[in-house]
Copies of this chain bind each other. A is one copy, B any other.
Amino acid sequence: MATASRKQREIRQRELLILDTARRMLLEKGYIGLSMDRIAAEIEYSKGTIYQHFTCKEDLVAALAVQTMTVRRGMFEAAASISGRTRERMTAVGVADQLFAEIEPDHARVEQLLKEVSIWDKASAERRNAALSYETSCMSVVAGVVRDGVAAGDLAMSDGEIEQLVFGLWSLAWGARSIMAASLAIEKFGISEPEAALTANYQVLLDGYQWRPLSTEWDYVATAERIRDELIRQRST
């Protein structure tokens, strides 16, 4: 029994090794530069072994995506469940997003990279469902906080507007990261601290939606810092 589980641990270990290697390769050379041959060479296992873990290239990449989503979702859920006023909790999700990009830059980048690649057709159904579920639940976490804001009277909003706000925050974050990663001109143009700019725009948008207390009435910079420390502390335990 002990023997079997050691083997199993080794296998699981190797799966992680494959994924890590693939992720690095994806980041370095793009989707096109990611090849089964090269992964095999790098991990020093045979190609056949990789195919014992993943049915095809797409399946491997899908696994990468799912892994990333899992990490993100975990961080989002931790953030949303923090205590405080609803806009503080919304801020916390923003902090989580930023933290995710900062602590797990590879995962964050993979997320962007894979958006434009159609891997889901050939990936195993199991993995496809996992992906869909993770993405939906990330959005639901955010929507939940918004609804709590409405319930608490911090925010006045119709039903359709809730989704609109979530979409706005998501767009803002996603777009900013995308531009940071790929834009030729961003530094030339004079945006030296895009991450800070994103955080600021975040609060401006919430102000625009009149989510109380407004940033003129409350120090969200301090809030963000506090939450940040809190989330980091949680992670390390």
A residues at B contact (CB < 8 Å): 30-32, 112-113, 115-118, 120, 128, 131-132, 135-136, 139-140, 143, 163-168, 170-176, 178-179, 181-185, 188-191, 194, 197-198, 200-201, 203-209
Q: Give Cα A204 to B161, complex, Å.
A: 12
Q: Give Cα A201 to B143, complex, Å.
A: 16
Identical copies of this chain, number: 4
B176 and A30 contacting across the interface, CB-CB below 8 Å: no
Chain B residues closer than 8 Å to A190, beta-carbon distance: 163
Q: Give Cα A172 to B116, complex, Å.
A: 18
Chain B residues closer than 8 Å to A139, beta-carbon distance: 185, 189
Main SS class of interface, A: helix
CB distance from A65 to the nearest CB of B (A): 10
B171 and A175 contacting across the interface, CB-CB below 8 Å: yes
B185 and A167 contacting across the interface, CB-CB below 8 Å: no
A178 and B168 contacting across the interface, CB-CB below 8 Å: no
Q: List 17 A-B contacts (CB under 8 A).
A: A113-B116, A115-B183, A116-B181, A116-B182, A131-B184, A140-B189, A143-B189, A163-B190, A163-B197, A166-B191, A167-B201, A168-B197, A174-B175, A174-B178, A174-B179, A205-B208, A208-B209
Q: Which of A168, A174, A208 has the most CB of B within 10 A?
A: A208
Q: Give Cα A36 to B157, complex, Å.
A: 52
